[in-house]
Each structure stands twice: as C-alpha cells, then as structure tokens.
Structure 1
Amino acid sequence: MSIATRVGLIALAALTAPVSAQEHADVPGSSLQNSPPGAPIAPEWAYPQSTTHTQVGPPPGFHRESRVETIPIGVFEAQADVGAAVAPGAASFANGTYTIRSAGYNVWYTRDEFRFLFRKMSGDVSMAADIAYPSGGFGDHKALLVIRQSLADDAKEAFVALHGDGMIHLAQRPEPGKRISDMEYRIGSRGGLPGGKSPDSLVTLHAKRIGIEKKGDQFTLWVSEQGEPMHQYGAPITLHVTAPFYVGIGFASHLPGVAETATLSNLVLENRAGRVR
C-alpha cells in the first residue's frame, strides 16, 4: 500500500469515526447548538434551521422502520416511534393526562419522526385535546392530532399541530413519500417562524386546545383560543384514507437527537363527526 493510500484511509477514518454531540457542536459552523453533550448524532440534514445551518428535506429514498410497542396506553391500543428517531421516545398516562417524550427531526417534508399513540379506526372521527409544554423547549416543537394511513414514516396523513411558538396548522401528505402541505395560523407566535414576528398584543391568544374532525374525506381544524367553545378554523382539506387507518396523538421535538416533553389532556376521541369539543 502506498503512503498516499494510507494517508487517504486515515483521513477517511477520521471523517467517519463516531463523535459526541459536544465534539460536533464545538466545530465552527456546526448546527448542533441545540444539542446537549452526549446527545445522539443524526444526519446533518436533519438539524433545524439556524444561522449556521439550512434545513433541507431527507435524501431521496431515506427511511427508517418505525419502532412499534404493542402496549396499550389510555384509550390507545399501542404506541410507536414513527421514523425511528435516533433518541427513542416514551409516553405515560395518569390522571387523564398523556405525557409524551420524544425526539424527532420533524413531521414535515417527505417523512416523519415523532412519538405516536394510536388506535385503528374507520369511518368518521372527532378528536381534541388541551396541549401544554411543561418544560418549555425548542420553539418549533409540535404536538399533533393525527389520522394516517399506516405507521410507515412517509405515510399518507392529515394532522393538526400546535407549535411551541404558538403557530397552529392543518396539514396533509396527499400520497406516500410526498411533501407535506399545510394551512398555517400564527396566533400569538413569538417570532422565529416564516412570516415574521406577531405583534406582542397577540401573544395572549396563544391557543392551547386544538381538534381535528374527519367527516368522510373532509378534514377540518378546530381551535379554542382562550377557553371559548371550539370553532372551526379555516377551510377543510380533502384526503381519502382507506379503513382501517391509524388515529392518535403525537409529539416531535424538532431536534433529531434531543427528547422534549408535551402533555395532552382532556382528550376527546369519538368515532363520529360533530363531536369536537
């Protein structure tokens, strides 16, 4: 083996050797400023947008098989780490509150990573919950109410979400592997999201209860901003999912290797439309 070949192999080994999150974060221009020491390393594309990093979608064909736990929790039959984030998630249920701890780079683009508590259903669905982030965390993390065709990371789905910064949205993936599209509402957003910072006077309108209704192939977003009766927000989307499909609640930290916490309480889940409340 030539000296040049040996030098090349040594350089390649240095580039591919495992490093800790802290070592990576110490590199100038690294996108891991949100990762604590010891956090698992994810692909560079998976880290959130920052002043030093441009977030992009997964490479074509990138998938991870979801980790499924057939352990009932509350009204749900089982739970899963959809997309198998590099840091495993967990969930518990007590006194009417679901506590979900999850990492996951996003629920967006062409595939998802999030903790999902689910049951199989068919027909119409009404679902709603109060959402809170008791430990704060990354502003763009999101709790979700989800109706999806399968547990694959790129499944067809419709969902509503409440972001840590206050944005709510109704989103869909129209076919497996397609990019998410959505309708976004920045109620009380504190900034850092596309569209700019909302006026400070709107911060008190940060919604805490959201809902989703499936009526046939029509999906609608429901919101209570300040404890008033829930009301439909915006126009519906049209999406066909084949029964049985998966219905449940979830959470993604928006940080691929860092688990954060959301709570969902006062859950309504009924197998008919017109019952979001």
Structure 2
Amino acid sequence: MISKLISAMSSSIYKYIGAINKTCIVLLPAVLLWATSQISFAQTTTKVEVPDWALPGSATHKQVPPPLDFHRPTRTENKRIGIFEGQSDVGAALVPGSSSYNPATKQYTITSAGYNVWYTRDEFRYLWKKMSGDVSLAADIAFPDKEGYADRKAILIIRQSLEDDSKEAMVALHGAGLIHLAYRPEKGANMKEMRVDQKGALRLGIEKRGNAFAVFTSMNGEPMKQFGEPIQVPFKGPFYVGIGFCSHLPDKADTGILSNVVLENTAGKIR
C-alpha cells in the first residue's frame, strides 16, 4: 500500500516537473527578447555627460581647470605588458582605455580618451613599472591617425602614485608637434612646464638623476641630446615610471604608438 502511494506521488511530481520544464522552454524566447529590449533601451537612453570644463579649447570655448574637489578613482590592471608591471586608466576617462605590445616590432599601442594631462588632475592610459632611484626612459613616438586632435599627447612620465592628482614629471609630444618637460610639483598642484623650441621629435627621453629631471630629444634620428636645464622635483621611492597616451578629448579615444623603449634604473642611459 505504501509503495503504491509513493509510486503515485513520484509520478505526479515527475509530471509537474515536466510541465514546468515545458513552460520554461516556451517562455525562454520571450524572456530573452524582453531582456534584449531592456539592454537596447538602456543603451539608447544612457547619455554620457561631459563637464563643460573638460571640453577641449576652441574658438568659442576655453578649457579650464577642473573643480578642486573633482576626482575619479583610477582603474588599474596588475597585468604585465612588455617590460611594464601593470597598466591603468589614471583618472578613469569616460571611455576605458586599452593597450597592447608587439614583441616583433617592439611597439606599444596605447588607446585612450581623457580630457588632459594637465592642471590639477589627469586622465590617460598609463603603462607603468614601480622603481626607486635614478631612471633613464626613452621611446620613439608615432600617431597612426595623422588627422587627430592637435593637443593629444604621448608621454614618458614618472609619478609618485596612480591617483589622478599625483605629483609627477613628464616629457610629452603633442599631436601638432609641441614638446615640453612638464611637472606637478606637489599632489593636487597646477602643472608647470618648460617648452622645447623645436617641434616634432621622432624620439623623446626623460632622465631622473636624484631630484633633477631633464628632457632629451632626437629630431631626425640623430643621437639624443639634452635640451635646456633640469627641473627639480623630489620623489620618494618607490614611484611609478612608464609611458602613456591621452586623446585630449574627454569622451573620444585616439591612439599613440611608442616603440623601442629604453628603461634603465640608472641615469646616463638615454639612447
């Protein structure tokens, strides 16, 4: 009697489960269609808001410093790329950046949006290595899109931290050819610069010798030479050393290629 009862109950349960499965199979396409429509709706209704201060300069608009309390947490991948230990979207630009390395050509391809690497905070894609002491860093620089924004910049940079307002010293080549040695003397301070009176270097370098930072250039493939006098910025080790790129457009990415990178943990090795 008991066995017959158990058998009857089992049969009912199996029929019930079967009915549920059939219902799920019938409803699944409708559920997927609904989910897809919600995603599409979200994509079409979500609008990226660009602060007015972040818009690039033009005949009708002047880019200005960000509010002093404006920051975005840096996005970091502790993932090696070439000679570098990790990569970060410093300042978390509105469009996430990316980077790749081709060992055959020794090229680092860096794609990034970002309103600027200037004023009191930065937005750029950064490939970095933690170091202490003196540093020699150099690279060839190229912009694949010859028609890109004039103020986009490929940079060789040393930073105290990965925060968007970190103390830093860098050399940069802009899309229109401007070269400068720039630095933020303290966390959250405005940038200062020393401009190079030539444009369009094929290769740039930055040397850290104690607290002194100097810019090196090669305009046409000749041996690199120092330009001007070093600037003084004290750093505490360890700090971050590496290469980066910024489109100078807050919500639109561009690409820079840095190749034949020299990175030595000593001064006097720029080449």
TM-score range, shorter chain: 0.7 to 0.9
* Match of residue 227 from structure 2: 233
Structure 2 counterpart of 1:168, which letter?
A: I
The answer for the alignment partner of 2:81 in structure 1 is: 73
Distance 2:254 2:175 in 1: 11
CA distance in 2, matches of 1:48, 1:183: 22
- Where do residues 43-82 of structure 1 align in structure 2 (5 Å cutoff)? 43-82=51-90
1:249 aligns with 2:257: no
* TM-align CA RMSD: 1.1
SS in 1 for 2:220: coil
How many angstroms apart in 1 are the aligned matches of 2:111 and 2:270?
Answer: 25
Corresponding position of 1:130? 140
Choose which of 200, 203, 208 in structure 1 pairs with 2:202: 208
Picking from 99, 104, 108, the partner of 2:114 is 104
Paired letter, 1:225: M
Indicate the residue corresponding to 1:201 in structure 2: none
Aligned twin of 2:217: 223
| d(CA) in 2 for partners of 1:42, 1:122 | 37
CA distance, structure 2, for counterparts of residue 157 and residue 54 of structure 1 = 25
The answer (yes or no) to whether the contact 1:128–1:276 under 8 Å persists in 2 is yes
CA–CA distance in structure 1, aligned partners of residues 141 and 261 of structure 2: 10
Residue pair 1:166, 1:186 contacting (<8 A) in 2 also: no
Shift of 1:51: 1.2
AA aligned opposite 2:193: D
Q: Which is greater in Rg?
A: 2
> For each residue in 1:186-245, what CA deviation from the matched residue of structure 2 results, as whole angstroms up to 9, or x when unmatched?
424xxxxxxxxxxxxxxxxx2110000000000000000111100001110001110000
Contact preservation (8 Å) 1:126, 1:272 = yes
Mapping of residues 1-277 of structure 1, within 5 Å: 20=47, 40-94=48-102, 95=104, 96-136=106-146, 137-188=148-199, 206-277=200-271
Q: TM-score, normalised by structure 1?
A: 0.79
Question: How many angstroms apart in 1 are the aligned matches of 2:127 and 2:212?
Answer: 23
1:172 and 1:57 map into 2 onto residues whose CA distance is 16
8 A contact 1:143–1:262 mirrored in 2: yes
Instruction: Please tell me the residue identity of whatever aligns with 2:108.
Output: Y
Could you tell me how far apart the structure 2 residues matched to 1:250 and 1:42 are?
Answer: 22
Give 1:184 shift: 1.2
Offset of 1:86 from its aligned partner? 0.4
| Count of residue pairs the alignment pairs up | 224
Counterpart code for 1:165: A
Which amino acid letter does the alignment assign opposite residue 172 of structure 1?
Y
Q: Which secondary structure state, in structure 1, belongs to the residue aligned with residue 245 of structure 2?
A: strand
Q: Distance in 1 between matches of 2:168 and 2:93?
A: 19
Distance, in Å, in 1 between the alignment partners of 2:158 and 2:269 is: 16
Counterpart CA distance in 2 for 1:128 and 1:42 is 34
SS at match of 1:45: helix
Shift of 1:41: 3.4
Bigger proportion of residues as helix: 2
The percentage of aligned residue pairs carrying the same residue is 58
Scaled by the length of structure 2, the TM-score of the pair is 0.81
The answer for unaligned runs of 5 or more in structure 1 is 1-17, 21-39, 189-205
Cα deviation 1:160-186 (Å, max 9, x = unaligned): 000010010001100000000001124
